[in-house]
Amino acid sequence: MAKRHYIPVTAEVPGADSKDTCALIRRVIRTALAAEGVDFPCEVDVLLTDDAGIHRINREMRGVDRPTDVLSFPEFSLRPGELPGMEDADPGTGLVPLGDMVLSMERVAAQAKEYGHSRRRETAYLVTHSVLHLLGYDHLDEGPQKAQMRQREEAILSALELTR
């Protein structure tokens, strides 16, 4: 898979940005982007933090006073299947900035244990979930939107061979 995308991974907590974790995150993002038809160079910024860090960001950015597992901050207001184009690229880098994701590695560990699967699988799921949010997917309803997002998540995780 071509490495045309710029995916910086920054860690606020010691050890969260291990070589293996960063490689997994980048692989998942590239796979999800390819599955969604993103065939242009883009940028996705990733921050790895703990529950306290994501709680702070959730409160400051969304007014929600609690931790969560993953936050997504899309650059564009898209609908599923709708993509930005090269006209949206940063003139300095030539990359289309899709947005930012924040992942609580503390929550990754807790949810992996709770759901009975590996941290690797939980990380892949949350990163996939976040990429889909950056590309306009949502799950605000319990009906078609949520079902569509879940179907895409499962298809991408299957391509990564990280199913439940």
Domains of the chain and any CATH numbers? 9-159 (3.40.390.30)
pLDDT digit string, tens, across residues 76-111:
999 998 999 999 999 999 999 999 999 999 999 999
Q: Which residue has the tokens 């949010």?
A: 133
Rg value, the chain, Cα: 15
What distance in Å separates the CA atoms of residue 143 and residue 146, rounded to the nearest whole number?
6
Say whether pLDDT at 46 is over 90.
yes
Cβ-based burial of 135 (10 A; exposed 0-12, middle 13-18, buried ≥19) = buried
In the chain, what is the greatest distance between 2 CA atoms, to the nearest angstrom?
Answer: 45
The predicted model scores a pTM of: 0.94
